[in-house]
Structure 1
Amino acid sequence: MKLYHFSEEPDISIFRPRVKANRQDMPPVVWAIDETHAFTFYFPRNCPRIVYQRTADMTEAQVQTFFGGTSSNTVITVETRWYEAIRSMTMYRYELPPATFRLFDSYAGYYISEETVEPIKVTAIPNLLGELMELDIDVRFTPDLHPLRDAILQSGIPDFGIHRFIFAEVPQAKTVMSNIPKKE
């Protein structure tokens, strides 16, 4: 089993356990992700994104709504404003020795270790979108993630992740009708 940690920093020589900001109830740990789910981290750290996968138990309506027009089994949707950052950044994938890690979340592929960990190796990933395309992942861009998030949460589809949504743009009220001149 291969476990990874992703960072925008190219020179991390040791990973020390720490308390994660959104997991204050947990002890300090080092986080890792398994190889199967690693693609979910091919984005800048704070890039909000929604990931969902086709499953055998989805209804035909769910497939049409969320996968209509694609043969991919995985769709990732990102805010349009993040395109340039994704396109131009290099991500660093640190391979971590699995010995001290235990499974934290099998659904998401997360593992944790309470020990200090030294990476086995680091690999630069300079073309994140290219890597995702090599995996046959459908990458979509939208100006507003909120409608998709709401649809996913109401849909009942089982395999999805909403990542870093705290950094999503707050939708602006649209007043289309107010721009139309009134007839007198």
Structure 2
Amino acid sequence: MGIAKQAAMLRAARNSASIRSYHPAGTVKCDGVRLFRSQAARDVGCLLDVNPSVASWRCMPMPFGAGGIAHVPDFQVFDEEGGILYLDAPDRIVSADVADIASEAVHLNARYRLLERAEVYDSFRLRNARDLLRYAGTVTPLGDRLRLLAALDEHGSLPLAECLKAFQETRPVPGIASLILHGYVEVDLDDAPLGPETAVRRISR
């Protein structure tokens, strides 16, 4: 497939995705334009932002051939070890055989996956990720960050309600959300909605 044809297909895919916006709007690891084909694709983007093994991700990368058909994946994902994964949300109806797409990805030194619905929606992770990403644009001041990290160094872990007391320079909820999203502290996102009793732990750097 020629470069001009690839570019034309990518423009068409991105133009169709840009008609609607999906929530939440903020991201922390998206590299480049934020365009989502559907709410399901946006939901996958939320999960990518809270996956510690993901370094960055891109929306609708350049298409590649599969079974004679060009395919524009929902995402190109870069992991912390330098690996590349092409990813489609579970609502995606692909025009080529999934095995053919995966085989073509291998030729690009990458992997491909079409996610199953359960992987996105069968835990509290997506709900918690959406809540956190409401505050994606927040930058926690150094003083607040130091106060919280020092408290966690002393106690090992603290309930979320106790952590909020460390914030003096910014609003507590956006402040702690920012520190979670940017990998300073961690919480369990899978088992329950975030609440006052959620345990917060420092991430070793």
TM-score range (shorter-chain normalised) is under 0.3
TM-score, normalised by the number of residues in structure 1:
0.27
More strand by share: 1
More relative contact order in 1 or in 2 (CA 8 Å, sep 6+)? Answer: 1
